[in-house]
Structure 1
Amino acid sequence: MVLSIFGKRIVVTGAGQGIGRALALRLSKFGGKVIAVSRTQKHLDTLFQEDPKIEIITADLADWESTRAAIEGAGRIDLLVNNAAAARLDRFLDVKPDDVDVLFNVNLKSVINVSQVAAKSMIATGNGGSIVNISSQASQAALKDHAVYCATKAALDQLTRVMALELGPHNIRVNAVNPTVVMTDMGRVGWNDPEKAASMTSKIPLGRFAEVDEVVDAVVYLLSNRSSMINGVTLPIDGGFLAT
């Protein structure tokens, strides 16, 4: 399958670890000119050591102005993956104002900010582009202790649809992927208790969590020309969790 990744300038946020890191490495392997964004310098340094072709930008996505300046300074943007996210888990009755501010700033507001810069760049080149937002099954399923996180991801899904509607006439496609628990290093630590894991996998028809590459494969497809008529979708990568 030939992919239209080679030579494209691709911004990946939250690229220091997990899905974002794997995406940056895969897209670079396919010949993309990856600009990796993270707030943690040491993670970017090790990413650059692993693949020196990847450009790195240190930015705190919760800071609108500094992030905007950093992304604008990256030059032309052809493709974008909004992967960065924050999570604070607590019972609804214990949610604090700071939890709401932090999660909405990172999980939604930063997506608007970075996507505005990227979309304006895509429009200026006249070549269109593709944006993929990393959402979650939590956007469509209520999860205990995830009140604010679920709300941010539900908002991200609707933002994805509006972006697809408004940017489509510029030949810019916008889609989201909605994974279940993903076996990143953090995911393995968080779900290594067999009893805790079983409480979730028992609701997944395939009976297991997602592997990082299974999310990366879907995102690469949505970025590429092989999905040229797919716009405004929220794609579950959940083994059937949302189908039950």
Structure 2
Amino acid sequence: MNLPPPPSFRLDGKRALVAGASSGIGLACATALASHGAEVTLAARRADRLSEIVEAFIAKGWSADSLTLDVSDISATETAVEANGLFDILINSAGLARHSPALETTEVDFDAVNDLNFKGAYFLTRVVARGLIKAGKPGSLINITSQMGQVGGIDRAVYCGTKHAVEGFTKAMAIEWGQLGIRVNTIAPTFIRTPLAEQTLAIPERRAWIEDKIKLGRVGELSDITGAAVYLASDASNLVTGTALLVDGGWTAD
């Protein structure tokens, strides 16, 4: 009897660029990809922190190097990515949140969040895709957005706007590059327990609002994201493109 072949989640022989890899979701995704066989380039602004992480990866027997990168600096990012070779996988977890009521948003905060979350993500995705297209290779490009890229949130008009924007260009890029075998998707998490999220979770009324909205009744953990990252990076998701993989505990179900 011929049984259907199981999918492979292995990433051996693939190079992955993970931006925002010095902490939180980015670091967790980099760890997951490396543990599944990918050669991971960890990118962030903090060179000393990246060096520590690379040493820890190598001690595990994983393949890793680092790249000091500020995604909001478009020219420097494009130069660095082009100089460091072809990447089969991109995970962009570089992001910024400056929350305030919409009537109190400053232009400085608007520009800082937009430059990293939207503009930076757009051009980082493009430069990795450009390398794949030039080499005639397929690839998987993944931006970490948020459930707030699907809905609205209190004091989050700018943040929500940037995440909605990334969801939009993801779909457009997926259409443009689909025939070339380049898949473009997002992972859209709910509140994940990281040092950044703890600032919100420490406010009792906000925590109550969050736990009420998450149908599974708990805040997310980093381990809740990494399976989605490995899935979208691997050949197991070969027919998945132009979509958001919601890891939101049911937040957006109603």
Match of 2:173?
163
The 2-side partners of 1:228 and 1:237 are apart by 19
Q: Deviations over 1:156-209 (max 9, x none)?
A: 100110010001011101111111100123324541444431221111111111
Q: Paired residues, what number?
A: 244
Match of 1:81?
91
Q: Deviations over 1:37-78 (max 9, x none)?
A: 101223212211211331101111111111111111111111
Shift of residue 125 of structure 1? 2.5
Q: For structure 1, which segment, 151-160 or 208-217, has the greater mean C-alpha deviation from structure 2 after superposition?
A: 208-217
Structure 2 residue 52 is the aligned partner of structure 1 residue 42: no
| Residue of 33, 37, 40 corresponding to 2:39 | 33
The 1-side partners of 2:104 and 2:202 are apart by 26
**Residues 123 and 4 of structure 1: is their aligned pair in 2 closer, same or farther, counting only changes over 3 Å?**
farther
Equivalence map 1:51-130=2 (5 Å): 51-52=57-58, 53-130=63-140
The 1-side partners of 2:197 and 2:101 are apart by 20
Structure 2 residue 26 is the aligned partner of structure 1 residue 16: no
Match of 1:229?
239
The 2-side partners of 1:178 and 1:91 are apart by 23
| Residue of 217, 230, 234 corresponding to 1:220 | 230
Q: For structure 1, which segment, 8-17 or 137-146, has the greater mean C-alpha deviation from structure 2 after superposition?
A: 137-146
Provide TM-score, normalisation by structure 1.
0.95
Shift of residue 106 of structure 1? 0.4
Structure 2 residue 159 is the aligned partner of structure 1 residue 149: yes
Provide TM-score, normalisation by structure 2.
0.92
Match of 2:3?
none
% identical equivalent positions: 35
Equivalence map 1:126-137=2 (5 Å): 126-137=136-147
Q: For structure 1, which segment, 32-41 or 193-202, has the greater mean C-alpha deviation from structure 2 after superposition?
A: 193-202
| Residue of 190, 195, 199 corresponding to 1:180 | 190
The 1-side partners of 2:35 and 2:244 are apart by 26
The 2-side partners of 1:174 and 1:4 are apart by 19
The 2-side partners of 1:189 and 1:102 are apart by 19
